Chain A
Amino acid sequence: MNLGLRWGDVVVVMLAATLVASSFTLTYAPASGALRLVVSQAGESPRTFPLNEDRTVDIAGPAGLTRIEIHEGRARCLRSPGSQGICERAGWLERHGDMAVSLPNRLVLQLQGDGTPFDSMHF
């Protein structure tokens, strides 16, 4: 059957199909891919920790130590100074944008993935 296609048409159709498929993958893939934990502390440059390696990290702040646990691709504030337990209560940070704050230690823990980052967090 002759559809009147030249070889260039085939190349363009195949490229177009690949592009459409990859666009969908890029747009709708869960933003949790390649997640990392960004620790911002007042007066310090932000520190980044990968989530693919289990570990605990101690961050010193004005009120004492904040212990962060990274386990199986997620992170949490395990212990932190502050009588209200606000940092610990945030629980596991699992998705792009998830956040925990320790005001006494002037710390923000936030997960960043490949999704469009938020310019600021309102709470």
Chain B
Amino acid sequence: MTSAVAGIRRAHVWALGLLLLPLLVAGCTAHTDTDRLTFHAFGTLIDITLYPAGAHDLARLESALSADLEIMHASWHAWQPGSVGRTNQLLVLGGEFSAPPSVLPLIERGQQLEIATDGLFNPALGRLVAAWGFHQDEPAGPPPDPEWIADLLADPPRMADIERNGVRLRGHHPELQLDFGGLAKGLAVARSIDLLQELGVEHAIVNAGGDLMTLGRPGHRPWRIGVRDPHGAGVLASIELDGGEALFTSGDYERGYAWEGERIHHVIDPRSGRPSQGLAAATVLHTDPVLADAAATTLMIAGPEAWPAHARKLGVERAMVVLPDGSVELTPAMEPRVVFEQATQSSVRVASATSGKDR
């Protein structure tokens, strides 16, 4: 025994320890250290990731989050009776009225974003979205008559047509109809993060139908997010997120229908009055989930030439778009954050130039 111990010197023990360390680390990361909570609310699937595993009262969290999200959903719904519906009825009458408190923050952000996007983001065009068949659970044609679109866009309703005086509102356009589809989810995710914090949660992800925001970090590692390939079941890329980061995507594959061989999707360009063209998806990473949500829609509408300039104007440093041929363009700050999990042609875009590479 003594001779065996003498054969293995102290240096050997250290060497073995160092060699074993990576294996131990690999072993630790292979199992999941989080709990998942999946439920239906806000008209979509809500997926909550909680760290560490086993530390939370899942039933209590689900019931609190679900109740809160359902109130927001009913209140902000674009075509069912609720606060936004009531506000729409009163806006077209042209008289002054007291706004429902839940609608005021949406109107305020909507007005700011309309200015910041040069009108590309226009939640006052609900009538146009409805005419394209998207104000129903199963979107369907026929598309609106081109002459009707031309008439509406000759003098289109804008967020600026809503006069705000404290909590009092007055509408100045007979066709104005609010549809907050492009920012309500961002606000709902932000409120859910706030609610989780109030309930004592420190490390979580709130994922609402694929759009998500993080709270804190899972221990000493970052959150690891898989970005699904819009055209299949696979994982296009992975992104590591820090605490307080939101990831929102707007895509032509989300809601839509086929009409005479053409795919009609739900992102409507206020300039043409038709579904946006030239980009399949736009993804924005930002600390403000409302801005991330609205900016993703704006970049989709801005199209393949103008999206980097609009991202810069909105203060969005990290954005990525997928072109119809499946190739990907990223802003310089987004590029180091994205690891492609499948062969993808990608290039870095700045507002005035392009530098490409294949991966």
Cβ of A30 under 8 Å from chain B: no
Q: Which residues does chain A contribute within 8 Å of B210, judged by CB atoms?
A: 121-123
With known contacts A97-B341, A99-B228, A106-B45, A119–B233 Cβ distance under 8 A: no
- Cβ-defined contact, B232 with A90, below 8 A: yes
Q: Is the C-beta of A22 less than 8 angstroms from some C-beta in chain B?
A: yes
Q: Would you call A41 an interface residue if the criterion is a C-beta within 8 Å of the partner chain's C-beta atoms?
A: yes
Asked if B12 and A97 sit within 8 Å, CB to CB, the answer is no
The number of chain A residues with a CB under 8 A from chain B is 44
Which residue of B29, B45, B226 has the most chain A CB atoms within 10 A of its CB atom? B226
B268 interface contact, C-beta 8 A: no
Is B207 a contact of A120 with CB atoms below 8 Å? yes
The answer on a CB contact under 8 Å between A98 and B20 is no
A95 lies within 8 A of B239 (CB): no
Q: Are B225 and A120 interface neighbours, CB within 8 A?
A: yes
Bound Cα distance from A122 to B282, whole angstroms: 12
Query: Residues 216-245 of chain B: 1 if any A CB is under 8 Å from the residue's CB, otherwise 0?
Result: 001000011111101011110011000000
Give complex CA distance A12, B18 in Å.
12
Closest to A114 in B: B30
Q: Which of B7, B29, B207, B257 contacts A121 (CB 8 A)?
A: B207
Partner of B234, one of A15, A27, A42, A98: A98
- Contacts of A26 on B, CB cut-off 8 Å? 23, 26
Cα distance A100–B45 when bound, in Å? 13
Question: From A87, which residue of chain B is reached at the shortest CB distance?
Answer: B233
Contact of A108 among B15, B19, B34, B45 (CB under 8 A): B45
Q: Decide yes or no whether A2 CB sits under 8 A from chain B.
A: no
Judge whether A12 and B16 touch: CB under 8 Å.
yes
Residues from chain A with Cβ under 8 Å of B23 in the complex: 19, 22-23, 26
Answer yes or no: A32 CB below 8 A from chain B CBs.
Answer: no
A100:B233 contact, CB within 8 angstroms: yes
A101 to B46, CA, bound (A): 12
Residues of chain B within 8 A (CB-CB) of A91 are 232-233
The answer, among A11, A22, A43, for a CB contact under 8 Å with B8, is A11
Interface segment, one of B35-43, B191-199, B326-334: B35-43
CA distance A91 to B283 in the complex (A): 24
A93 touches B233 (CB 8 A): yes
From B20, B223, B227, contact of A119 by CB (8 A): B223
Q: Are B22 and A23 in contact (CB under 8 A)?
A: yes
Cα A26 to Cα B341 in complex, Å, equals 18
Given the known interface contacts A91-B233, A116-B224, the answer about A122 and B247 at a Cβ–Cβ threshold of 8 Å is yes
Within 8 A of B (CB), among A80-98: 83-84, 90-95, 97-98
Residue of B nearest to A89 (CB): B232
- Say yes or no: is B297 at the interface (Cβ < 8 Å to chain A): no
Distance in angstroms between the alpha carbons of A91 and B230 in the assembled complex: 12
Query: In the complex, which residues of chain B have a beta carbon less than 8 angstroms from the beta carbon of A4?
Result: none
Is B295 in contact with chain A by the CB < 8 A criterion?
Answer: no
Please give me the residue from chain B that is nearest to A10 by CB atom: B7
Q: Is the beta-carbon distance between A118 and B207 smaller than 8 angstroms? A: no
Does B32 lie at the interface of the complex (its beta carbon under 8 Å from any beta carbon of A)?
yes
CA gap between A100 and B239 in the complex, in Å: 20
Closest to B257 in A: A84
Q: Is A78 an interface residue (CB 8 A)?
A: no
B224 A118 Cβ-Cβ under 8 A: yes
Judge whether A7 and B7 touch: CB under 8 Å. yes
Q: Does B83 contact A (CB under 8 A)?
A: no
Could you mark each residue 170-185 of chain B with 1 if its beta carbon is under 8 Å from any beta carbon of chain A, else 0?
A: 0000000000000000
Cα A116 to Cα B25 in complex, Å, equals 12
Measured between beta carbons, the chain B residues less than 8 angstroms from A99 are 226, 228, 233, 235
Closest to B238 in A: A118
CB-CB nearest in chain A for B11: A12
Known A-B contacts A8-B8, A15-B16, A100-B233; the reply to A121 vs B49 at CB < 8 A is no
User: Contact between B205 and A6 (Cβ–Cβ < 8 Å)?
Assistant: no
Q: Is A64 an interface position by the 8 A CB rule?
A: no
Binding site for A on B (CB under 8 A): 7-9, 12, 15-16, 19-20, 22-23, 26, 29-30, 32, 34, 36, 38-40, 44-47, 49, 138, 205, 207, 209-212, 218, 223-228, 230, 232-235, 238-239, 247, 249, 256-257, 283, 341
Sampled A-B contacts (22; CB under 8 Å):
A7-B7, A11-B8, A11-B12, A12-B15, A23-B23, A43-B38, A43-B39, A90-B232, A97-B235, A99-B228, A99-B235, A117-B224, A118-B238, A119-B34, A119-B205, A119-B223, A120-B49, A120-B212, A120-B225, A121-B207, A122-B228, A122-B239
